[in-house]
Amino acid sequence: MPYDLNPGDVALMGVPLDLHSTFLQGPAFAPGRIREALHSGAANLTAEDGTDLGATDRFKDTGDLDVFEMMGQEPIDRIEAGADARIATGAHLLSLGGDHSVAYPLIKAHAERYEGLNILHIDSHPDLYDSQQIGPLGHGCPFARVMETCQINRLVQVGIRTMNKPQQEQAEKFRVEVIDMQTWHPDLEIRFDGPVYLSLDLDALDPAFAPGVSHHEPGGLSTREVINLIRRFEGQLVGADIVELNPHRDPYGITAMVAAKFVKEIGGRLLSR
């Protein structure tokens, strides 16, 4: 049993990969920066529901996954295997990317363990491209790969504001439920029946709240709105990822601290199941 994980624990795992980024490198350094913010001393480890991650032995940091450990093995396969090893113990996995390409193997591992898996995807981009110039595993493609290869009940996307024609066609093909920023309102109720995987891209937030991302897309969600989404959506949260922090573009560690805040809120919800 890796890292002495037990059923109901929350396993934190870093996924330092940005090989599939199309614009800028940097998200590979994100897991370490998020941990620094989480343990910086500038704040405590208590979520807003009162769950103190620092006062429980059920929140366990399992370190960074070595995505290049096996020569000749695609990092995507390595990520899936690392995720599967952790959730096979009955623990709930909270992953820190990395670019958004890591969501595909992470969700694939969860879909094989949780029948009828739903996905709540918070992002400015739909990430539904069939392929990009770097290939079909680009960070703009993970949800196309997920919907092609995994048994997914529903994919609900929130915060979208870059939906072009190719991705609109993909959304229709895969019957994706898109709540874009034109129709978003804070009182929106999101409900799922069954298990839910949360994939959170930090560029879902307006750059005023999270400037440390590779793709700045104005007109996004506030930090408070994302926290409320994490806490209030109805469904059984079973796993999550936080992706696309780019420390090279993060003045004063603002976005890393936002990501650390989300770690606490997601971790608190997973522990309260």
Residue 64, annotated as binding a ligand: no
Extract the tokens encoding 29.
């350094």
Neighbours of 235 (CB within 10 A): 18
3-state helix, strand, coil in the chain (%, to 5): 35, 25, 40
Residue 201, annotated as binding a ligand: yes
- Length of the chain, in residues: 273
Alpha carbon of residue 231 to chain centroid: 15
Residue 125, annotated as binding a ligand: yes
Question: Token match 């193997």: residue?
Answer: 105
Question: Token match 């820190």: residue?
Answer: 96
Residue 18, annotated as binding a ligand: no
Nearest to 83 by CA among 65, 60, 57: 65
Rounded to whole angstroms, what are the CA distances from 42 to 57, 61, 124?
Answer: 22, 20, 29
**Distance separating alpha carbons of residues 113 and 67, to the nearest angstrom:** 22
Residue 203, annotated as binding a ligand: yes
Burial 86-99 (b: 16+ CB within 10 A, else e): bbebebbbbbbbbb
Residue 127, annotated as binding a ligand: yes
**Alpha-carbon dihedral sign for residues 173, 201, 241, 246:** positive
Q: Strands, DSSP E only, in 220-269?
A: 234-243
**Distance separating alpha carbons of residues 11 and 17, to the nearest angstrom:** 19
**Distance separating alpha carbons of residues 198 and 210, to the nearest angstrom:** 19
Q: Which parts are annotated binding residues for Mn(2+)?
A: 100, 123, 125, 127, 201, 203
Q: Which parts are annotated binding residues?
A: 100, 123, 125, 127, 201, 203
